[in-house]
Amino acid sequence: MTSTVNDEINITEPAVTATGGRPVPHVKVAIIGTGFSGLGTAIRLLDNKITDFVLFERAGEVGGTWRDNSYPGCGCDVASVLYSYSFAQKSDWSSTFGKRNEIFDYIKDVADRYGVEPHIRFNHEVVDARWDESTRRWHIQTTGGDYTAQLLVAGTGYLSDPVFPDVPGLGDFQGKIMHSSRWDHDHNLDGRKVAVIGTGASAIQFVPEIQPKVGHLDLYQRTPPWVGPKPDKPNKGFHGWALRRVPGYRSFRRGFNKRGREILAFLFARPGLAEKTVQGMAQRHLVKSVPDPELRARLTPNFAVACKRLLFSNKWYPAIQQDNVEIVSGDIGKITANGIIGSDGKEREVDTIILGTGFLATKRPIADKLYGRDGVRLSDAWEDGGMKAYRGTTVAGFPNLFLMLGPNTTLGHSSQLVMIEAQVNYVLSALKVMDRRGLASVEVQPEAQELYNSALEAKLEGSVWDPRTCNSWYTDSTGRNPSIWPAKTSVFEKGTKRFDVQAYQVATLTGVEKAARISA
């Protein structure tokens, strides 16, 4: 799948180590974000004795999406043994699936324990990063000061910037409005009239928590999701004891979970089989949970299971059948000063609107800030053909840029941590190759990127994620699916195990530049 073209070029221009006459700090690796991706990269750098790096964090605390999402009931639907770093396993998860506070504490603990904190520049939001061809460095402007770096790793993921839906009148509402990922815990919901927009992974977690407290809840459901039962259990008894005490048991459980989930990738590539198995399981959960056939019909999705993310909850169906909940199906007509006009034309007054409307996943805000070779902005490079990368990580025209959870790395069947760790391996391997060969930069060949994406598109065809038959937040306005990794995670791991330099155009440093770099 890789190109064999490999043009080596020597850079002869002198290195520039100053901006506007003022020297700026230079690092080997600059990482954007301190979520699982950024911290995982940092830990593995330290593990490999590379200490010349910084992490830019726009907030004042680590944690990424698990810091920002603190809505009631927030948690993970992938078992904690797999939704954690393989190199930093935790023995005392309270139950099968981690709750938000437990995961957030885990992230903070790992950052502290592995000595990442001194490398973090908090309240440093990257506003602009430009590749300088003459110095073969990234020039990074942050709200806390400027830096240069040889490698830029964007650990910004795809769940960092919320979607505020394009519904007429959103700005007219006079009550309280909040997005699930920016929950205002000072806003007391007791007894209030609340509208929830969205029935995705976030809403199915917070609705059951707030439903008993609120006076009334209008649930605006544009599309019902497939929901399976969540087999959550406290880690007690023999299993809990073994997780803590028996050497190898945690790793065994992790491996078992990971391999088991690979079966889902096999099924999701074959919609007929997925319908008989996974969809059947969700259908039975629906039938068991919702006795009223009319309501059941309104809650039955009209798309193949996992086309949109398959959800898991034991609380969702019971909560939305309570007397204080009204399900309003279809598109929203308009938001008014006092409430929402639904598809039935009726205005329902509320004092709080909660948006469970997801994230900007196919239009990454960070892409507006990254400028590659010849000053081309990443979002412009992606404007026509949609988001594309090589191995979900590198992009033609953007030397020494590594995107964590870049295009086609989103999983519908397993833990994102598996993908993150694979990408970190790729970055580490690239650094080793660059050091060994004295390379200043690596840039994926456009031909390699195209071949890789053609293979991806062929793999998506006929699967539950095929953009021709499945429209979801995974798909973009060009009709592509630039989000999903449509195969087993082991295939991605294999492809990112070693940096395949033959797919790249590389450039070497001159002696002058090496000396300049040391003195910077």
Residues at the site binding ligand NAP, with contacts judged by CB under 6 A = 76-78, 159, 165-167, 180, 197-203, 220, 222-223, 308-309, 332, 356-359, 473
Nearer to ligand NAP, 45 or 299 (CB): 299
Residue 142 to residues 56, 83, 126, 350, Cα–Cα distance (Å): 8, 31, 4, 40
Residue 207 CA to residue 115 CA, distance in Å, equals: 38
Nearer to ligand NAP, 220 or 382 (CB): 220
Nearer to ligand NAP, 200 or 339 (CB): 200
Q: How far is CA 438 from the centre of its chain?
A: 33
Please report how close the Cβ of residue 180 comes to ligand NAP at its closest, in angstroms.
Answer: 6
Nearer to ligand NAP, 159 or 210 (CB): 159
The token pair at 312 is 């898991």
The token pair at 98 is 């981690």
Residue 4 to residues 85, 435, 445, 458, Cα–Cα distance (Å): 34, 21, 9, 21
Please report how close the Cβ of residue 74 comes to ligand NAP at its closest, in angstroms.
Answer: 7
Residue 292 to residues 168, 286, 457, Cα–Cα distance (Å): 33, 10, 41
DSSP string, 381-433: HTTTT-S--BTTTBBTTBTTEEETT-TT-B-SSS-HHHHHHHHHHHHHHHHHH
Nearer to ligand NAP, 167 or 227 (CB): 167
The residue sitting closest to ligand NAP, measured at its beta carbon, is 200
Please report how close the Cβ of residue 316 comes to ligand NAP at its closest, in angstroms.
Answer: 12
Nearer to ligand NAP, 33 or 399 (CB): 33
Please report how close the Cβ of residue 203 comes to ligand NAP at its closest, in angstroms.
Answer: 6
Residue 364 CA to residue 119 CA, distance in Å, equals: 25
Nearer to ligand NAP, 95 or 429 (CB): 95
Please report how close the Cβ of residue 188 comes to ligand NAP at its closest, in angstroms.
Answer: 23
Residues 6+ apart with CB under 8 A from 12: 510
Nearer to ligand NAP, 147 or 317 (CB): 317
DSSP string, 452-513: HHHHHHHHHTTSTT-TTT--STTS-TTS---SB--S-HHHHHHHHSS--GGGEEEEEPPHHH
Please report how close the Cβ of residue 69 comes to ligand NAP at its closest, in angstroms.
Answer: 7
Residue 351 CA to residue 81 CA, distance in Å, equals: 41
Residue 48 CA to residue 28 CA, distance in Å, equals: 13
Residues 111, 103 contacting (CB under 8 angstroms): no
Please report how close the Cβ of residue 515 comes to ligand NAP at its closest, in angstroms.
Answer: 47
Please report how close the Cβ of residue 247 comes to ligand NAP at its closest, in angstroms.
Answer: 29
Please name every residue paired with 142 in a beta bridge, in sequence order, or none if there are none.
Answer: 126, 145
